[in-house]
Amino acid sequence: MEDIELLNEATQEAEAAEDSRALYEVKMKFLGRTGKVTALLKGMKELAAEARPAFGKKVNALREALEEKFAAIEERLKKRELERKLEGEQIDVTMPGRHTKAGALHPVTRVKDRLIDLFSGMGFEVFEGPEIENDYYNFTALNTPADHPARDMQDTFYLTEEFLLRTQTSAGQIRVMEQKKPPIKILSPGRVFRSDDDATHSPMFHQMEGLVVDKGITLCDLQGMLDEFARTMFAETTKTRLRPSYFPFTEPSVEVDVSCTACGGKGCALCKGTGWIEVLGAGMVNRRVLENCGVDPDVYSGFAFGMGIERIAMLKYGINNIKLLTENDVRFLEQFKD
């Protein structure tokens, strides 16, 4: 009698199982090591010896019947689970797709690459100097000895008496002239550092230096190259003008203006009504600088120029605060994709 009751009980519970996990629990409850059917078999030793074979046969039949039942139910449950899983994984082709935003080059990188492109087209090679410089390369060799008032033009981060964070990529001019004999035509891009901080100045910014040394180089060569630079970087109609200025490492020295990038020269708020905007410093390499590098100034002459890359980017793209270039706000940066 016991076996019929157990069969009914187990069948009922198995039928009620919601999923294969629950069915497994039922299976263990009856057929597991401590299960009810197993317990019947274990209890067999208490029976009289002659009653055991018949009892054993009955329990084994019960076990087989249960195993068959469980297997059938399990198959049904597995099938249902698979169906549910497939239903859940159906792809809704009408759902809107997920967009991955494409990155964009930083405006400073764009301008730097553009400049390298432009000048390498004119035969310039790129040379990169170190960001930690010594006093000699950054100042002294550039005709700016320790007591020179022009040192005050650049608020310098000194690391030690001798070492500093370079304030200008002009230091690269010396390094190149020490390594290479003329003709020289190099471009030296990189980070520079000054203790300055306002809407148009940042303690770290980028410069692009240019140096040409050869026989018979004149200011006209500089002017011609600058015209090409201004037309390529800004607009085909952009004009340049040279204003006398002073840098210890050039003689004569000039400040280079371009016709205003906003009004084209008529006069506006950006150019403060003058029609011109200052973009870089330049000049003919000072004889003393050539001499410092073992280049004979009676045989060779050269011109040099240095520009702030952020400044060019701000003019080109109409950016009014230099901080925007370092804040990494994606809404700002993603606008430069042209």
- Footprint of ligand DAH (CB under 6 A): 168, 170, 209, 247, 250, 281-283, 304-306
201 conformational bin, left if phi > 0, alpha if psi -120 to 50, beta if neither:
beta
The CB-of-280 to ligand DAH minimum distance in angstroms stands at 7
The CB-of-255 to ligand DAH minimum distance in angstroms stands at 8
CA distances from 299 to 170, 197, 302, 318 (A): 22, 43, 10, 44
Which of residues 13 and 214 has its CB atom nearest to ligand DAH in the complex? 214
CA distances from 122 to 22, 52, 115, 226 (A): 79, 106, 11, 12
DSSP H or E stretch at residue 284: strand 276-285
Which of residues 168 and 202 has its CB atom nearest to ligand DAH in the complex? 168
The CB-of-199 to ligand DAH minimum distance in angstroms stands at 18
The CB-of-306 to ligand DAH minimum distance in angstroms stands at 3
Which of residues 229 and 305 has its CB atom nearest to ligand DAH in the complex? 305
The CB-of-292 to ligand DAH minimum distance in angstroms stands at 15
Which of residues 10 and 312 has its CB atom nearest to ligand DAH in the complex? 312
Using an 8 Å Cβ cutoff, are 115 and 169 in contact?
no
DSSP H or E stretch at residue 277: strand 276-285
The CB-of-251 to ligand DAH minimum distance in angstroms stands at 10
- Structure token pair of residue 120: 């390498």
Which of residues 60 and 195 has its CB atom nearest to ligand DAH in the complex? 195
How does DSSP classify residue 209?
A: E
Q: Give the nearest residue (CB) to ligand DAH.
A: 306
Q: How far apart are CA 238 and CA 101, in angstroms?
A: 35
First to last CA, the chain: 87
CA atoms within 13 A of residue 210's CA, in its CB half-sphere:
26
Using an 8 Å Cβ cutoff, are 277 and 255 in contact?
no
The CB-of-283 to ligand DAH minimum distance in angstroms stands at 5
Which of residues 238 and 250 has its CB atom nearest to ligand DAH in the complex? 250
Which of residues 60 and 179 has its CB atom nearest to ligand DAH in the complex? 179
Q: How far apart are CA 257 and CA 263, in angstroms?
A: 14
